[in-house]
Structure 1
Amino acid sequence: MLKNVHQYYVYILTNKRNGTLYIGITNSLERRVQEHKEGVIDGFTKKYGLKTLVYFETHQNVNDAITREKRLKKWKRQWKIDMIEKDNPNWSDLAYDWYS
């Protein structure tokens, strides 16, 4: 019998290409990105208008996701930009068509 499979997401939001970056973690990427887009939670992302999802990765283990988030937050800015541009060179909103 299969155990419950959990997924955790490490993600990066921005306000524009090469703009302010925010790295977060969640267990529901669609819900969390929608919260950022709607500005329902006060804080850094609301203050700087960070609503564009430019990068995310999936983890099965919450501790792995937390470790990855912490590591990314310590990275040099250029490393983060290079990582985003490797898979998303145009800084497209990866959640553009998630909501109607």
Structure 2
Amino acid sequence: MHYVYLLQSQTHPNQRYIGLTSDLKSRLQKHNEGGSPHTSQYRPWSLQTYVAFQTRPQAAAFESYLKSASGRAFANKRLWP
């Protein structure tokens, strides 16, 4: 399975991150250990939601959508708490 996941910083709640992985648990751990330069300064992160896909192209298309203007509006309304 491939996962599109949404993270929110616990120390900076306005900081959010959308990513794609096939191993959700280890990817979240890597974000919280500072292994990703895009998220290291806003640690720790909490997983807000994720969506599973059978194929990577499906997941990548959804990730791209969520990073678009209309996708951000959708995520803000439906996926973030």
Q: Give the TM-score taking structure 2 as reference length.
A: 0.82
Give yes or no for contact 1:10–1:24 (8 Å, CA) kept in 2.
yes
Segments of 4+ moved more than 4 angstroms: none
Distance 1:42 1:30, change over 3 A: closer
Give 3-state SS (helix, strand or coil) of 1:30's partner: helix
Structure 1 gap segments, 5+ residues each? 1-6, 90-100
The structure where strand makes up a greater share of residues is 2
Give 3-state SS (helix, strand or coil) of 2:3's partner: strand
- Residue 57 of structure 1 is matched in structure 2 by 51
Displacement of 1:56: 0.4
Q: Give the TM-score taking structure 1 as reference length.
A: 0.68
CA RMSD of aligned residues (A): 2.0
**Alignment pair present for 1:10 and 2:4:** yes
% identical equivalent positions: 30
Q: Cα deviation per residue 1:10-36 (whole Å; 9 max; x = unaligned)? A: 001111485111100000001101111
Q: How many residues align?
A: 79
Q: 1: distance between equivalents of 2:73 and 2:33? A: 28
Give yes or no for contact 1:12–1:24 (8 Å, CA) kept in 2.
yes
The structure having more radius of gyration, on CA atoms, is 1
